[in-house]
Amino acid sequence: MVKKQTIGADFSEAPVCVSEWGRFRRVFFERKLVMFGLIVLMLLVITAIFAPLLAPYDPYQSNMADSLLAPSSKYLLGTDIQGRDTLSRLIFGSRTALMVGFLTVGIAGIAGVTLGLVAGYFGGITNMIIMRTMDALMGFPMILLALIIAALLGSGIVNVIIALSVATLPGYARVMHGLTLSIRENDYILAQRAMGAGNIRAMFSHILPNALPPMIVLITLQLGALILAEAGLSFLGIGIKPPGAAWGAMVADGYRYLSSYPWLSFAPGVAIMLVVFAFNLVGDGLRDALDPRLRGLL
């Protein structure tokens, strides 16, 4: 990714080094907010991976004697109605959040990119059918779509992932479609075709790699929104239900006891907010660092 250009070789013309990696580093790493986001994300990943080691108590174990305790030195964030330690549940909840986020983005990404690529490349009826279906899917408020699918398929993390994937892939398809259209017209694609490259080759070896950077940015930007959506679904009671640990569900639990035990809802909400905030910061930082021109597009 390092590109260097040296203009002029004479003594008075100071060589101008245009280094892409240098610029990336400057725009990305030297922004305090973005660094903050990156740190939060790293902490999140560490928490998720080492959850069993970090959590002081078993997040699924009921302990009715200690039900609804306020934060104390024993239970740093208090306990819920079943006497489960909120902090431990919070820690394990990070696993749910990350798993849902990354898997959804993976599935939706592959599906959406493929659809957009095919639609944009072949054009015609294929294009119309695919893109109008995408439009129709996008016409649904995302929550609604996810709600129906998840409700019909039942609870459980897998169904949540499927539901969210279906809701997110139209967005990817649309951006990929636009990118395919513009890249397709580039001369080097025509040159490849003239040299006999087949459709598959043109699509995957040439168009796809060029579309990748903006797609990566889009995906990173989406992760935050997906975690928010998952939290929303588990709040509504779809997706992970107690005893499973999911932040949204924890907020819902706390809602019931809001007047007397307000802290139940507080911590998981902060967690959600912080994580989504971090993802958004990093996503924006990535976008600005890779190509500020993307600002208008994404």
Partner 1 sequence: MAELLRVENLKTQFHTDSGLVKAVDGISYHIDELEIIGLVGESGCGKSVSQLSVMQLINAPGKIVGGEVIFEGRDLLKLKAHGPEMRSVRGAKIAMIFQEPMTSLNPVLTINQQLTEMLELHLGMSSKEARERVIELLGMVGIPSAKSRVDDYPHQFSGGMRQRVMIAMALSCNPEILIADEPTTALDVTTQAQLLELMRDMVEQFKASLVIVTHNLGVVARYAQRIYIMYAGRIVEEGTTKDIFGNPRHPYTIGLLKCIPRLDEEEGRKLVPIKGLPPNLINMPPTCAFLPRCSYNIERCSQEPWPPLKHLHDQHYISCYADTEEKNR
Partner 2 sequence: MTAYIIRRLIMAVVVLIILTLIIFFIMRLLPGDPLIIFMGRAAGQGSISPEQLENLRIAYGLDKPLMVQYFNWMGGIFQGDLGESIYYHEDVGKLLLERFPVTLDLGIRAFILGNVLGIVLGLVAALRRGKWIDTGATVFSYFGVSIPVFWLGILLMYAFGLKLGWLPVTGYTYPWVDFWMNFKQSIMPVACLSLMSLAITARQMRSSVLEVNQQDYIRTAWSKGLRERVIVTRHMLKNSLIPVITLMGIGLGLMFGGQVFVEIVFSIPGVGRLLVSSVFAQDYQVVQSGTLVIAVVVVLANLIVDISYGWFDPRIRYG
Quick one: which of 25, 132, 201, 241 contacts partner 2 (CB under 8 A)?
132
Helix, strand or coil, per DSSP, at residue 49: helix
DSSP-assigned states of every residue in 133-181: HHHHHHHS-HHHHHHHHHHHH-SSHHHHHHHHHHHHHHHHHHHHHHHHH
- Sites for partner 2 among residues 28-87 (CB under 8 A): 33
Residue of the chain from 112, 120, 232, 242 that contacts partner 2 (CB under 8 A): 232
The single residue among 40, 236, 243, 291 that binds partner 2, judged by CB under 8 A, is 236
Angle of helix 86-122 relative to helix 157-184, nearest 10 degrees? 30
Nearest to 212 by CA among 183, 255, 185: 183
237 binds partner 2 (CB under 8 A): yes
Contact partner at residue 179 from partner 1, partner 2, none, CB < 5 to 8 Å by partner kind:
none
Tell me whether residue 7 or residue 136 sits nearer to partner 2 (CB atom): 136
By beta-carbon proximity to partner 1, the closer residue of 3 and 74 is 3
Of residues 276, 279, 275, 285, the one with CA closest to residue 31: 285
Which residues are bridge partners to 85 per DSSP? 79
Binds partner 2 by CB under 8 A, chosen from 101, 242, 248, 285: 248
Q: Name the 3-class secondary structure at 63.
A: coil
- Burial call 104-116: b when 16+ CB within 10 Å, e when fewer: bbebbbebbbbbb
Planar angle of CA 132, 183, 125, nearest 5 degrees: 30
Q: Which of 84, 92, 235, 282: binder of partner 2 (CB under 8 A)?
A: 235
Indicate which of partner 2, partner 1, none lies near residue 258 (CB less than 5 to 8 Å, by partner kind).
partner 2
What mask of x and - would describe binding to partner 2 in positions 138 to 177, judged by CB under 8 A? Answer: xxxxxxx--xxx-xx-------------------------
The residues in 24-83 that bind partner 1, with binding defined as CB under 8 A, are 26
Q: Which of 265, 286, 287, 290 binds partner 2 (CB under 8 A)?
A: 265
Phi, psi of 282 (to 5 degrees): -65, -40
Does position 292 bind partner 1 by CB under 8 A? no
3-state secondary structure string, 243-296?
CCCCHHHHHHHHHHCCCCCCHHHHHHHHHHHHHHHHHHHHHHHHHHHHCCCHHH
- Beta bridge pairs of residue 79: 85
Contact region for partner 2 (CB under 8 A) — 89-97, 110-118, 119-127, 130-138? 130-138
Residue 93 interacting entry, from partner 2, partner 1, none, C-beta within 5 to 8 Å by type: none
Whether the Cβ atoms of residue 165 and residue 108 lie closer than 8 Å to each other = yes
Q: Name which of 14 and 273 has its Cβ closer to partner 1.
A: 14
Contact stretch for partner 1 (CB under 8 A) within 6-14, 98-106, 178-186, 210-218: 6-14
20-29 and 263-290 helices, crossing angle to 10°: 160
Contacts 24+ apart (CB under 8 A), 5-11: none
**By CB under 8 A, residue 125 contacts partner 2:** no
8 touches partner 1 (CB under 8 A): yes
Question: By the criterion CB under 8 A, which residues form the site for partner 1?
Answer: 7-8, 10-14, 16, 26
Question: By the criterion CB under 8 A, which residues form the site for partner 2?
Answer: 33, 132-133, 135-144, 147-149, 151-152, 224-225, 228, 231-232, 235-237, 248, 251-252, 254-255, 258-259, 262, 265-266, 268-269, 272-274, 276-277, 280-281, 295-296
